[in-house]
């Protein structure tokens, strides 16, 4: 599903919508896991969500915050939380982008507090 | 069902310096000896984790040509599934005597490679597999029920305590563990620290299944297979809708219903404790406690010390069965619930065992 990754070059987070039943799913698949239809199209996510859960990963190098973010559209994304001193479950977060060496970007999330 | 476990045994545990097939052979021969049987009685075989065509490799190594096999590979719960499949096969007359076996030398070999789903949408975030998933479950659990790491640490403390009564346990003789020590141990994936995680050891075991009728003529008291249940779930970290709702619900319910029992009827529990969080959540999902109250269950459990303190050779499921059989033979327990999980709560399988009445 390189279309998904290509869109990250333009800071667009795509979610797969089913043209048959309207379900939204992530990660992208060849079929809708709700109705089985193969009529699927990508639409851009609004970029908001809440932290379902998170963990600070300690391995070689700097620790980082891995999280499950429940997007406003419904699907959950495995991602990182950036620049959040004290992450908590259920906190609202906003989409941000971290560049990759090849020009693609990795969707990550920052705090939505104070907005 | 009219099938029973007639023999059960461990291979060498800990750091053995032995190869996998040697460990497997130990487990198989010891379990057969325990059952009063020999290799020539075996016509069914189930195993995994030995490179290409695991069950054929083991069969060839043992000099067997089984008429029935299983090599379902779903992580540590596979062995509970093998019990279900073997019981069906024996009941159906496809075979008469099945050996379920497993071994790993991951500690001696200094490697334990578990390939994740290869998910291009998750690996860029570098989760620790499987620890980061259990860590997120733990975080959500503590958040939801207003608990903290101290409460989970108690699970590790209790496991160590039980292991002090089991000379075969990796931590036997290490003395008691304190909550403070668990909290002070280096973090792996918060809120889980090193002592919230299961051991990395060599080890394995085997069980022998045959018809209850035949088992009654063998030397050891049969552990009767009363019911089985299973449920497959996710393999990615983001696909489970609710971190606190696992397939243990359906797996446990199916097995208990087949046995005609309720959680209150269970005398001893063997629950796969890959991480401290696995214990309270598992007990709740299996029906032994209400949500958020799994830490207060008093039913005897993980009596040998479990994966946290006794032995954890990659896939622990077969040793849960071995310990359950031991409890039914050597204590007043008449019913045992064995629950295996694999991966990141990816697979679940429950077996209910009971003494022959
Ligand atoms: Zn659909």
Give the model confidence (pLDDT) of B117-156 as tens digits. Answer: 337 899 999 999 999 999 999 999 999 999 999 999 999 9
CB burial readout B240-255, b (16+ within 10 A) else e: beebbebbbbbbbbbb
Proportion of chain B above pLDDT 70, given as a percent: 97
User: Is pLDDT above 90 for B112?
Assistant: no
User: Is pLDDT above 70 for B113?
Assistant: no
Note the pTM of the prediction, 2 decimals: 0.92
How far apart are alpha carbons B102 and B124 in whole angstroms? 33
User: Cβ of A88 and B135 within 8 Å?
Assistant: no
pLDDT digits 0-9 by tens, B266-322: 999 999 999 999 999 999 999 999 999 999 999 999 999 999 999 999 889 999 999
Regarding predicted confidence, which is higher, B116 or B4?
B4
Rounded to the nearest angstrom, the distance between the alpha carbon of A35 and the centre of ligand 1 is 4
Rounded to the nearest angstrom, the distance between the alpha carbon of A19 and the centre of ligand 1 is 7
**Reported confidence tier of residue B333, pLDDT bands at 50, 70, 90:** very high
Enumerate chain B positions whose Cβ falls within 8 A of a Cβ in A.
Answer: 119-122, 124-128, 132, 135-137, 139-140, 143-144, 186-192, 236-239, 241, 243
Polymer length of chain A: 115
Supply the mean pLDDT for chain B. 94
Q: Which CATH architecture has domain B3-108+200-355?
A: 3-Layer(aba) Sandwich (3.40)
Q: Which residues make beta-bridge pairs with A110?
A: A94
How far apart are alpha carbons B101 and B316 in whole angstroms? 11
SS3 A95: strand
Radius of gyration of chain A (CA): 15
Chain B nearest C-alpha distance from A32 (Å): 14
What CATH number labels A2-111?
A: 2.40.50.840
Residues 69-108 of A with CB under 8 A from B: 75-80, 88-90, 100, 106
**Facing B140 at nearest CB: one of A53, A57, A64:** A53
Report pLDDT for B117.
35
User: Cβ of A76 and B238 within 8 Å?
Assistant: yes
How far apart are alpha carbons B1 and B211 in whole angstroms? 9
Residue B330 backbone phi and psi in degrees, to 5: -105, -10
Report pLDDT for B110.
66
pLDDT digits 0-9 by tens, B196-205: 999 999 999 9
Catalytic residues of B: 272, 310
Chain A nearest C-alpha distance from B122 (Å): 6
User: Cβ of A76 and B137 within 8 Å?
Assistant: no
CB neighbours of B128 closer than 8 A, spacing ≥ 6?
A: A57, A59, B135, B188, B189
Q: What share of chain A is helix, strand, coil (3-state, %, to 5)?
A: 10, 45, 50
* Weakest-pLDDT range from A55-69, B118-132, B164-178, B222-236: B118-132
Q: Where does CATH 3.40.47.10 sit in chain B?
A: 3-108+200-355
Proportion of chain B above pLDDT 90, given as a percent: 88
How far apart are alpha carbons B285 and B248 in whole angstroms? 6
**Quick check: A38 contacting B, CB < 8 Å?**
no
How far apart are alpha carbons B103 and B214 in whole angstroms? 27
Chain B nearest C-alpha distance from A89 (Å): 7
User: Is pLDDT above 80 for A1?
Assistant: no
Q: Give this complex's ipTM.
A: 0.96
Q: Which chain B residues touch A58 with a CB distance below 8 Å?
A: 186-190
CB pairs under 8 A between A and B: 81
Maximum Cα–Cα distance for chain A, whole Å? 46
* Weakest-pLDDT range from A61-75, A93-107, B105-119: B105-119
CB B238 within 8 A of CB B122: yes
User: Cβ of A88 and B132 within 8 Å?
Assistant: no
Report pLDDT for B63.
87
């Amino acid at each position: 599903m390189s279309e998904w990754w290509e869109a990250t070059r333009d800071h667009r987070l795509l979610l797969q919508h089913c043209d048959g039943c309207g379900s939204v799913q992530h990660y992208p698949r060849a079929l809708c896991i709700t109705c089985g239809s193969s009529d699927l199209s990508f639409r851009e996510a609004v970029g908001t969500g809440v932290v379902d859960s998170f963990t600070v990963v300690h391995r070689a190098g700097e620790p980082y915050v891995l999280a499950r973010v429940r997007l406003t559209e419904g699907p959950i994304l495995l991602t990182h939380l950036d620049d959040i001193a004290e992450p908590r479950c259920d906190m609202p977060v906003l989409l941000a982008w971290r560049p990759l060496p090849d020009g693609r970007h990795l969707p990550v999330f920052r705090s939505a507090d104070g907005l | 069902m009219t099938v029973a476990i007639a023999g059960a045994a461990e291979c060498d545990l800990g750091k053995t310096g032995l190869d996998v097939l040697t460990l497997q052979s130990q487990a198989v021969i010891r379990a057969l000896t325990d059952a009063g049987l020999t290799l020539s009685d075996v016509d069914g075989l189930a195993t995994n984790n030995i490179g290409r065509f695991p069950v054929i490799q083991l069969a060839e190594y043992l000099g067997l040509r089984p008429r029935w096999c299983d090599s379902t590979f779903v992580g540590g719960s596979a062995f509970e599934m093998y019990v279900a499949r073997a019981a069906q096969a024996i009941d159906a007359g496809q075979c008469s005597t099945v050996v379920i076996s497993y071994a790993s030398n991951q500690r001696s070999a200094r490697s334990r490679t578990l390939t994740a789903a290869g998910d291009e949408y998750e690996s860029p975030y570098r989760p620790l597999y499987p620890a980061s998933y259990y860590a997120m479950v733990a975080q959500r659990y503590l958040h939801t029920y207003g608990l903290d790491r101290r409460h989970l640490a108690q699970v590790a403390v209790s496991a160590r305590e039980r292991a002090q009564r089991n000379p075969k346990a990796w931590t036997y003789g290490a003395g008691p563990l304190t909550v403070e020590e668990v909290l002070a141990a280096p973090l792996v994936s918060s809120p889980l620290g090193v002592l919230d995680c299961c051991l990395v050891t060599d080890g394995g075991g085997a069980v022998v299944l045959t018809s209850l009728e035949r088992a009654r003529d063998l030397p050891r008291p049969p552990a009767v297979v009363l019911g089985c249940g299973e449920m497959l779930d996710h393999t990615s970290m983001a696909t489970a809708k609710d971190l606190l709702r696992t397939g243990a619900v359906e797996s446990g319910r199916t097995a208990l219903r087949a046995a005609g029992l309720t959680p209150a009827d269970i005398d001893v529990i063997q629950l796969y404790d890959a991480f401290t969080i696995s214990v309270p959540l598992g007990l709740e999902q299996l029906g032994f406690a209400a949500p958020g109250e799994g830490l207060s269950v008093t039913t005897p459990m993980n009596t040998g010390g479990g994966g946290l303190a006794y032995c954890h050779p990659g896939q622990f499921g077969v040793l849960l069965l071995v310990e359950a059989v031991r409890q039914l033979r050597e204590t007043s327990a008449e019913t045992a619930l064995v629950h295996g999980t694999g991966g990141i709560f990816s697979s679940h399988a429950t077996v209910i065992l009971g003494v022959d009445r």
